Amino acid sequence: MKLGTLEIHRGEKKSGYLKVKGCGLELPVTVIRGEGKRTALVTAGIHSAEYVGIQAAVELAQELCPEQVKGTVIIVPLVNVSGFAHRTMSVVYEDGKNLNREFPGAAEGTAADQICHTITAELFSKADYYIDLHSGDGYEEMQNYAYYVGPVEEAVRETSFQMARRVDAEYLVESRHTTGGAYNYASSMGIPSVLIERGGLGAWSREEVDLDKKDVRRILAYLKILNPEEEESGPVRTQLVFQEAVYENAPEGGLWYPVFRPGDFFKKGAVLGEIRDYFGNVLYECRARADGMILYQTVSLAVVKGGPMTAYGVMP
Ligand SMILES: [Zn+2]
């Protein structure tokens, strides 16, 4: 297998950098190659302040060895490298774009377009399965859950759903989108994919990192890329699947006062939060469009016009 300047033979593990064509940024990558044909791709840090997944991917890349892997595991522990270095959170430092809105990307665009294009061309082209690790952003608190894509080929949807079933979280969300996000676009290419959400607020803990690593190992064991006799490989728990989610962006900038916490249930019409001005006057009241449960929400006092405010799953 060739990946950028790396050449990886069976029985080898190699680490290096994958150059992004155009802007010249370099993505860290580790390839663990055992016997067997199938390839799983694991990425983290598409949003660079989502540290749980980044740390979990760094550790998985250190821990997995070719003798354990049936097939190949490619790990990119940090996609938004310049955002991490400059701490610009969910956006790319060079152009202010959110990578998870730009897939499949473009060779002739700005840095974010080129990163997405390189991942699509160099990594999705090699992947049979895809796991993407996320958290709430630096200003967001979150309920742990996992996404997979609904409106794709049935076999892709079913395998993606079974991968999501292996995530140690009480909730799953079936996404309706087939472009924009990395796992969304990969699914539309026929690659069974899952996005894991755990942690938030720019923090990470040993417990959360270990849970992320267990999720990845359980999914790889279910796919028989790790040995299911040595690893847990079954579904973890009963999960509620949201077929529909609502993402509310702030119509005004100002001070934001959420009412509920992630994991709280509410009825249609309930006030989910208010935006007030600097004198304390209410500018906007966000009301629930349906019965639902908070998946994640902004908890910084500042809310940005057009930026995320709250997101919830609609009760099936
Ligand atoms: Zn994210």
CA of 97 to the centre of ligand 1 (A): 13
CA of 144 to the centre of ligand 1 (A): 12
| Residues 92-128: tens digit of each pLDDT | 999 999 999 999 999 999 999 999 999 999 999 999 9
Task: Decide: helix, strand or coil at residue 82.
Answer: helix
CA dihedral 56, 60, 62, 63 (to 10 degrees): 130
The set of residues, in sequence order, having a beta carbon less than 8 Å from that of 206 and lying 6+ positions away, is none
Per DSSP, what are the bridge partners of residue 215?
none
CA of 133 to the centre of ligand 1 (A): 8
pLDDT recorded at residue 304: 96
CA of 146 to the centre of ligand 1 (A): 12
Domain boundaries, the chain: 2-241, 245-314
Residue 182 to residue 118: CA distance in whole angstroms: 12
> Is-same-fold flag (2-241; 245-314)?
no
Residue 24 to residue 82: CA distance in whole angstroms: 11
- Report the topology of domain 245-314: OB fold (Dihydrolipoamide Acetyltransferase, E2P) (2.40.50)
Gyration radius (Cα) of the chain, Å: 19
CA dihedral 207, 63, 80, 309 (to 10 degrees): -20
CA of 274 to the centre of ligand 1 (A): 24
| Residues 244-283: tens digit of each pLDDT | 999 999 999 999 999 999 999 999 999 999 999 999 999 9
CA of 43 to the centre of ligand 1 (A): 11
| Residues 139-176: tens digit of each pLDDT | 999 999 999 999 999 999 999 999 999 999 999 999 99
pTM, two decimal places: 0.97
CA of 67 to the centre of ligand 1 (A): 32
Q: Tell which CATH classification among 3.90.1150.10, 3.30.450.40, 3.40.630.10, 3.30.420.10 matches the domain 2-241.
A: 3.40.630.10
CA of 56 to the centre of ligand 1 (A): 14
pLDDT recorded at residue 93: 98
CA of 218 to the centre of ligand 1 (A): 21
CA of 53 to the centre of ligand 1 (A): 10
pLDDT recorded at residue 125: 97
Residue 105 to residue 264: CA distance in whole angstroms: 36
- Report whether 49 contacts 90 (CB < 8 A): yes
CA of 154 to the centre of ligand 1 (A): 26
State which H helix or E strand residue 159 sits in: helix 154-165
State which H helix or E strand residue 15 sits in: strand 12-19
CA of 46 to the centre of ligand 1 (A): 6
State which H helix or E strand residue 32 sits in: strand 26-33
CA of 181 to the centre of ligand 1 (A): 10
Q: Is 254 left (phi over 0), alpha (psi -120 to 50) or beta?
A: left
Residue 194 to residue 159: CA distance in whole angstroms: 10
Token output for 109: 């665009």
Average pLDDT value for residue range 8-14: 97
What beta strand segments (E) does 86-144 contain? 129-134, 140-142
